Chains A and B, each alone.
Chain A
Amino acid sequence: MFRLLMAALGLALFAAHVRAADADSKPDDPKGIEFFEKKIRPVLVANCYQCHSASAKELKGELRLDTREGMRKGGEQGPAVVPAKVADSLIISALKHADGLEMPPKQKLSDAIVADFTKWIEMGAPDPRRPNSSTVGSKINIAEARQWWSFQPPKVTPAPKVKNAAWPKSEIDRYVLATLEAKGLAPVADADRRTLIRRTYLDLIGLPPTPEEVEAFVSDTDAKALEKVIDRLLAMPQFGERWGRHWLDIARYGESTSKERNVPYPFAWRYRDYVYDSLAADKPFDQFVREQIAGDLLPAKNDAQRNEQLVATGFLAIGPKSLNNRNNEQYLMDQADEQLDVATRGVMALSVACARCHDHKFDPIPTTDYYALVGIFRSTDTLSGVKRGNNKTGYSGDYGYMIDAGKKHETGTEERRKLAELKRELEKAQEDLQQARQQARQKLAAAEANGAKGKNKAKNKAKANQKLAAAFRQEQQRVDELTAQIAALEGGSSGSGPPVMAVRDSARPANVQVNIRGEVNDLGPEVPRGYVRVLTYPQSPDVVPAQSGRLQLAMWMTSKHNPLTARVMANRVWFHLFGRGIVETVDNFGALGERPANPELLDYLAVRFVAHDWSVKKLIREVMLSRAYQLSSDHSDANYAADPDNKLVWRMNRRRLEAEVIRDSLLAVSGQLDLARPAGSLTQTITGGEIGRQARTAGLQEPVKFRSAYLPMVRGLVPEFLNLFDVADAELVVGQRDVTTVAPQALYMMNNPLVGEQAKATAERLAGKSDLADNAARVDYAFRLVLGRPASSDEQAATLAYLQSCEDAPAAWMNVCQTLFASAEFRYSY
């Protein structure tokens, strides 16, 4: 700890020195910079930095090649680079291994590289590596950057008047129609009722309506027929599974560590169920997010809520982990990076993680913002049940524990009072510690500045070190003691319940230092914990030094002043209902993302969302009751020519169903689907250690009939069907899944026994239906059952002809049902 601090001080001083020295700030021409980045920098990094940079173990020849200044100043032998003067630039003769200077010493670099360096020097040696634009300082102008559309608070602009006033059913429709009319376009016809009811079912619960449900809707003349269906479906637990699964894509839900040492997470499913239940209960979205970021720190009314909120933090704990990493610091930094990424990209569609090695290239996110956030996650313990290194089971590391109402002994008033007192004391002690460190730093800096030289300097430094270590040893001891007491007291009231993947604030919250170029061994200045600066607003909560800052982070993310959170979620909802986001890049609202196709509509939805207490269900309901949602997916030549991507919503998009919906529909149609929630996860059947090594994973293959939302999501061993139909990669934040059409899908539908069995069961259903008078009626019903509509006369004829040509009738019926499952229409929503 102390050594780290010293290293930090050294580097901080050094950085300040360089900043003062660099007076040359004339910007280079972008082409030159590009040349440098492409041809020069990579060579320097790969071949020279080892001995000639801040990260060199021992700086050779007093020469630094990792700064513009260093190159021009040169080392013992003179300037390495003199702009535009190739002959005077020592680096060229060194690269050529001429004149007795041979660099790199062991291997001459290629002639092509030498030619690049020559050209570069002739260009004037453009080099962006100035200290004030480097990884440490930052050129980003925050005030200017705030003007970016998605950083502006959403505000409602009343929808403009539309010409076709009869068309809109709702405010949403007026926004949609206005943009269409502005381009001279008109929406296509409304969807027919069979298409609409199938779409509604698939979107809300991920299951098709039965033929009887379809007919009931078709013949319901009530103006509120659709509304009734929507409300009924919204209230079903299946809604939670369908929409919860959307969230799990973003949460990169997976039940193992993945990577080189793939260790199962036998308790990840608790988080999965938490997500489904939260969506089903219409938990306000802001609360939903807060619980996942800082549920362990939120007040709870009772044990049940406390447990629920603890499980929610699994969001941060279930990520992929590189257990084989030999470097603990690297491991922890990678873990924090992964947590930071899922939180910022998932909730705010912002690629903050791009700022790990340098300022964000496109968005106004300096690398210091990144490390401000990393500090928060590094001040957090991740309780995943695994640990770095060998894991015999998924129980090798620490877990969080629920409160077991049955076992727990009552926490008395006295104990609670004592606990509160201890916590206050701890806070105070941590502040003291912080202060002591601060003072230590200042003293040391003063000692350094006094400029003692040589042996004396080393002696002084050692003396100072000793003194300073003693100075806050006391404070540190006090913090440790208190932490232990609190743990003991709390242990009495938790501990005994079931294990949970979770997080908790670490005993010693602390800021981190910038990792220069993302290198854990190359430390820059310390950064106070905080958030993305461009998105701070006057009421942003400050990080309390004695805590991790997660609670404040959660508050900041879900504040109604945060311009992104509500917009991003409203856009995700729109995406799931239309197949295309208003902002097409659902996970990127930054400079490289698309602009919103209808910004007023997006803002309207975001503002409504917050006004309705962040109710996801209300938002979905309002969108689905718009006429826009109820459009057909019909083609229109004129519209197509003007807006081929349907950005402006002149029709409903045809959408390939997600893998889960296709499988569940198969099972639902065949009558085999088991809607009950299975207890836990099949991942728990894995025994014996690491997957791909000793572990026995046969249990994952068990043929099960429950919903796909409960299939085991072991990373690298995702069920074949889900994989084939583009399930989200469980390692990445995925707001929009790929849609691929590949031959292995066709092979599966044609040949896999799962499909064959469902076809057989469906054929048996048909045979068992005594009210179907003849083959024609059976064929018609088969189409209704599988595709939600009657057979056309051509389809009827073709199918009957097929049946007639087959000798074995039961087999022929099975083949017909399989054919319908295999049809393109079955896997699409129209």
Chain B
Amino acid sequence: MLTRRDLLQTTSCGFGMLAFAGLFGKSALAAPAESENPLSPKQPHFAPKAKRVIFMFMQGGPSHVDTFDYKPALERDDGKAPGQTVGGRGNRKLMRSPWKFTPAGTSGLPISELFPNVAEHADDLCLLNSMVTDLPNHPQASVQLHTGSFQFVRPSMGAWVLYGLGTENQELPGFITINPVTRVGGAVNFGSSFLPAPFQGTAIGGEGQRLAGASIPNLANRNLTKDQQRKQLDLLQAINRERLAKDKVNSELEGVIESYELAFRMQSAVPKIMDTSDESPSTLEAYGVGGGPTDNFGRQCLLARRFAEAGVRFIELGMGGWDQHGQLRNALTRNCTAIDKPIAALLNDLKLRGMLKDTLVVWGGEFGRTPHAQNEDGRDHNATGYSMWMAGGGVKGGLRYGATDEHGIRAEEKKMHVHDLHATVLHLLGLDHTRLTYRYSGRDFRLTDVHGNVATEIIA
């Protein structure tokens, strides 16, 4: 009897498309026919710099002028109220950063004392100092950062990447989001919208949850040992194969058979990766795992490395609490302390394993904060100029790209809109953002819609 593969090879593309559609839904019709599994690795449009992404999403709007955008003039003009406040809210006064900036690394990038450990990696960092987004509202800006659109429900960046590249380890989901924020768009931020469901992100844990103990749903059976379940699965597959024999040609059913085998493998593979007990005490210490303020984000970073190493394509780490309208001094210190050491450890670890060169690390929030003070010890939302940074994955280290005005109110040089960020991330992964399209409801959609310019200057 012919196998499905034989048939695929001998018949016209009509059947290839059918088999594909059968496995993964009608909408997969727009995808290339040669691959049966939408998640199997695909060729990018051109040679990629990065193979995978680790995106650290700092929800709330981290203050750029206190972290990665050094503004000497802000110090000078502390207490003055130049011109129009962003958003036009009253007559607010500029507030100097309470933290010192020192040049770090041989590149001398100015980095705030809030990030002493990250500063040691200055020569790997590419600071994006001229970010802009459309709206200074958390929900819209967060959703736009993730999907490109604040107006409509669209596929998330991770889903697009998975759609474009597939993933390398079929025992694991290709897009994992660890501790995703549940507000500000929630599942939309890692959803697949009109892209087929296999491209959506798989969540582990939730916002603010302790990671120890979190996992993927339905991963373990309460009643059966592994061997017992394998025996049950053998009976199941026998029944499935009998049906397949009756049906003669049924690619969907083959898909079901394969899905059970993958699920069975995932049951072992995922907990193995989630279980960090095989890490050396010094590694755990480096990430700050083992209690204390760095424990949770340390675990997130450590898991990110483990998933990256295992071939997961897109990994997002979520952390909320960056909305400092007040209590800037305390809260920002607390937040940065929680992530500084873990991030440094992650960068270091990736480097040691030779993975930083093809792992794109992206850090940032949905917008930044005003250089003007709010409530004496706080700053307001600022969408007209803020900072993110990238490291690894083929970007130039030790670079400050773009700039805001002297106080950090507006991006002025080499403005980088969120669409440009998306275009650049896709570009680093070997994907042309204008060609990564999906036909839905009668038109071709892109992550960048009709926008997006690749920031070619930051590419090494």
Instruction: Give A residues with C-beta under 8 Å from B.
Output: 38, 42, 45-46, 106-107, 110, 112-113, 258-262, 320, 322, 324, 326, 334, 351, 354, 361-362, 587-588, 590, 592-593, 633, 635, 640-641, 644-645, 654, 656, 692-693, 716, 720, 726, 729, 731-732, 736, 738-748, 750-753, 756, 792, 794-795, 798-799, 802, 805, 811, 815-816, 818-820, 822-825, 827-828
Q: A107-B414, A322-B151, A588-B441 are in contact. Are A720 and B217 (CB under 8 A)?
A: yes
Q: Do A750 and B186 have beta carbons less than 8 Å apart?
A: no
Interface size class of B (residues with CB under 8 A): 35 or more
Q: A259-B153, A750-B229, A824-B253 are in contact. Are A819 and B235 (CB under 8 A)?
A: yes
Residue of B nearest to A748 (CB): B218
Q: How many A-B residue pairs have CB under 8 A?
A: 202
Contacts of A805 in B (CB 8 A): 231
| A716 pairs with B231, CB closer than 8 A | no
Compute how far the CA of A805 lies from the CA of B243 in the bound complex, rounded to whole angstroms. 23
Chain B nearest Cβ from A188, distance in angstroms:
12
Report chain B residues within 8 Å CB of A692. 182-184, 186
CA distance A746 to B261 in the complex (A): 9
Known: A259-B188, A802-B231. A361 touches B243 (CB 8 A): no
Check if B252 is an interface residue, CB within 8 A of chain A.
yes
Measured CB to CB, the closest approach of chain B to A178, in angstroms, equals 23
B105 in the interface, Cβ–Cβ < 8 Å?
A: no
> Who on chain A is nearest to B244 by CB?
A824
CB distance from B118 to the nearest CB of A (A): 28
Query: With A740-B25, A794-B242 in contact, do A751 and B219 touch (Cβ < 8 Å)?
Result: yes
B415: interface (CB < 8 Å): yes
| Residue in B185, B216, B414 whose Cβ sees the most chain A Cβ within 10 Å | B185
Q: In the complex the two chains form, is A738's CB within 8 Å of B239's CB?
A: no
Chain B positions 134-159 with a Cβ under 8 Å from a chain A Cβ: 135, 137-140, 142-143, 150-151, 153
For B102, list chain A residues within 8 Å (CB). none
Partner of B218, one of A741, A747, A815: A747
Chain A residues whose CB sits within 8 angstroms of the CB of B256 once the complex forms: 741, 746, 824, 827
Q: Does B344 contact A (CB under 8 A)?
A: no
Q: Do A746 and B262 have beta carbons less than 8 Å apart?
A: yes
The distance from the CB of A741 to the nearest CB of chain B, in whole angstroms, is 4
Report the minimum CB–CB distance from B130 to chain A (whole Å).
9
User: Do A798 and B239 have beta carbons less than 8 Å apart?
Assistant: yes
Check: B249 CB closer than 8 A to any chain A CB: yes
Known: A740-B197, A743-B259. Is A751-B235 also a contact (CB below 8 A)?
Answer: no
Tell whether, in the assembled complex, residue B185 and residue A744 are in contact, meaning their CB atoms are under 8 Å apart. Answer: no
Q: Smallest CB–CB gap between B245 and chain A, Å?
A: 9
Residues from chain B with a CB closer than 8 A to the CB of A640 are 249
Extra inter-chain contacts (13) besides given A259-B153, A744-B202, A750-B263, CB under 8 Å:
A106-B413, A107-B414, A354-B442, A635-B248, A692-B184, A692-B186, A726-B197, A745-B259, A747-B263, A747-B267, A750-B218, A751-B219, A795-B239
Residue of A nearest to B434 (CB): A38
Are B184 and A260 in touch, CB under 8 angstroms? Answer: yes
Closest 7 CB pairs of A and B: A260-B139, A738-B25, A746-B263, A741-B255, A824-B256, A635-B248, A747-B218
CA distance A325 to B282 in the complex (A): 49
Give the nearest-CB partner of A820 in chain B. B239
Smallest CB separation, A781 vs chain B (Å) = 16
- Give every chain A residue within 8 A of B24 (Cβ-Cβ): 738-741
Selecting from B10-18, B294-302, B386-394, the interface stretch reads B10-18
> Residues of A contacting B412 with CB < 8 Å?
106-107
B434, A747: Cβ atoms closer than 8 Å:
no
Closest to A742 in B: B198
**Partner among A107, A593, A739, A828 whose Cβ is within 8 Å of the Cβ of B26:** A739
Flag if A823 contacts B196 (CB, 8 Å): no
Q: How far is the CB of B147 from chain A (nearest CB, A)?
A: 11
Q: How far is B257's CA from A693's CA once the two chains are assembled, in angstroms? A: 40
Interface string of B206-235 (1 = CB under 8 A from A): 000000000011111111100011011101
Q: Shortest Cβ distance from B178 into chain A, in angstroms?
A: 17
Q: Which residues of A contact B415 (CB under 8 A)?
A: 106-107
A110 and B242 form a contact (CB under 8 A) = no
**Bound form: Cα–Cα A738–B239 in Å:** 25
Q: How far is the CA of A123 from the CA of B202 in the complex (A)?
A: 48
- In whole angstroms, what is the CA distance A42 to B451 when docked? 7
* Residues of B with C-beta under 8 A to A726: 25, 197
How far does the Cβ of B353 sit from chain A's closest Cβ, in whole Å? 27
